[in-house]
Structure 1
């Protein structure tokens, strides 16, 4: 899941707390109407609500609305690896040099 959040003047503090959560894979402070972008890995779709409830209790200054997130139901490629339905590597994506 990718969340686009707003933490007003507390982006640094909020990003440090988010980075400490085991489900968070990356957290970046950005410019614009959403000053935080958070990538989260969850096991099931049911975990989305539990994660968001936990974060809203822990970080009341962070604002994320339903339109500020995207849920990915299946990842087919990750870090150059093709993934099967079970999430295990089934192949690689060859890298091509742009000048060749």
Structure 2
């Protein structure tokens, strides 16, 4: 399950990158202070790591990692690739992908 550890490393890096900004914006919202549209969009997209956490969780509990990866949808497979690159390169997530999350 070395591959899952790589994904966890990429997720941790992503969480570390977003935590300070997310914490500040959430504090502003909690205090009923307005935030910019850019910050609001960031919270809804880049700062929202629910999809990344879900994908890592699914793969972590899978008995067959390869089959579980193949069963993922295209968007989730892109998430896996992004987390792998983050873990391997040491780059910031903004350098790797400027893509927005798919809005359901």
Relative contact order, higher structure (CA 8 A, sep 6+): 2
Superposition TM-score, scaled by structure 1 size: 0.28
Higher normalized strand content (fraction of residues): 1
Superposition TM-score, scaled by structure 2 size: 0.28
> Which structure has the bigger radius of gyration?
1
Higher normalized helix content (fraction of residues): 2
